[in-house]
Amino acid sequence: MTIANTRIGADRNDGEDAAPLPLGSLFALALAAFVTILTEALPAGLLPQISEGLAVSQALAGQLVTVYALGSLLAAIPLTAATQGMRRRPLLLLAIAGFAIANTVTTLSTSYGLTIIARLLGGVSAGLLWALLAGYAARLVPERQKGRAIAIAMVGAPLALSLGVPAGTLLGNLIGWRMSFAIMSVFAIALMVWVRLKVPDFTGQPRATRLELGRVFAMPGVRSVLFVVLTFVLAHNILYTYIAPFLAASGLAERTDLVLLVFGVASLLGIWIVGVLIDRHLRALTLASTVLFAIAALMLGMMRDMPVAIYVAMAAWGIAFGGAGTLFQTAIVKTAAQAADLAQSMLVTAWNVAIAGGGIIGGAMLNHLGVVAFAPALTVLLLLALAVAWSSQHGFAAHAKRDAAAAAVT
């Protein structure tokens, strides 16, 4: 995912900057994101069938999701650091092959322990792929199209959550949970063929230009972006993880599926908005998303007994969160430049820490304070994110100035 070497478009003129996006390659990356998220989340919709098939409790079956996230969390930084010198396409193919192997073993295994190992392998592949994806998309296009390219590559993630998981769950109920994972394996193999044929290869980073992890972390702007990621995603996961009890307290327990559908559709709208505007308005979009999320959190806290307000707030939250991953990954790719791979691996780690933290902190708040504590906690976290994003002299602000200058040229 190194941008220093073979930076496509770095020397192009303005006319070339307006060239059509390489959609075949970008859609392949989007499908890689789709496979990653679907492999992670699919067990959640099939827990009863999986627990019966492996002769374990549903609580133990649920650990298939936990172990996957753990593999991603532990592997992202060390694996990305160790593979900096590898050519990018073979590394991308290796990550996708990990999903094919993990899902095949899950399909065939009758042992809970072996299935857990397979899921851990899937998580390791996910950690590597997420560290590669945004930088790979950025290298496919000129400087002024990087944000849009990353937005297209990232669209597979919300599509997997909003469409893939429900479809996979339905399919698993119709033909069995093992066949759902088998289809995922076939899909991953087909994607490997697509990547090999359509996605160009790039060199890895020469040893002389590689930076140590500590130096990347100390780069101006990197810590600001990581802090915003941590606080924003932590706020999201505190509420999203426990959205069912929150909605139950608001009298909408029977409408949880509809509420989440509103969120999912709105998140797709958020990605579209970010994809259209990100290359010129990265800073403004980041600030607007954070403010919109904070407003949604306040609405959810202050109008819990008003169903219409709940739906409006969920739509606003979906718009704010939908494009957040693209905003943060674009910001860190531009901030870290030559060290984009390692910086992306830090972002993956921060994101997964926020996911785990949301479950732990949100659970403690629910048990001891109740759902009324969610809105104030989210507001505090989002105000911290807003303050850092606003005051950042590199992570977001520098790009806003540079993008404005680039827009003036065109």
Domains of the chain: 14-209 (1.20.1250.20), 215-409 (1.20.1250.20)
Tell me the Ramachandran region of residue 21: left when phi exceeds 0, alpha when psi lies from -120 to 50, beta otherwise: beta
Instruction: Check whether 12 has a pLDDT greater than 50.
Output: no
Provide CB contacts within 8 A for 6, sequence distance 6+: 139, 202, 203
Please tell me whether the overall predicted TM-score, pTM, comes out greater than 0.85 for this model: no
Helix (H) or strand (E) holding 284: helix 256-302
Q: How high is the pLDDT of residue 403? A: 45
Q: How high is the pLDDT of residue 210? A: 61
Q: How many CB atoms lie within 10 A of CB 85?
A: 12
Q: How high is the pLDDT of residue 263? A: 85
The answer to whether 389 touches 287, Cβ cutoff 8 Å, is yes
Higher pLDDT, 115 or 61: 115
**What's the rounded Cα separation, in Å, for the pair 26 and 327?**
17
Where does the pLDDT of residue 115 fall: very low under 50, low under 70, confident under 90, or very high at 90 and above?
very high
Instruction: Check whether 348 has a pLDDT greater than 90.
Output: no
The answer to whether 142 touches 15, Cβ cutoff 8 Å, is no
Q: How high is the pLDDT of residue 208? A: 58
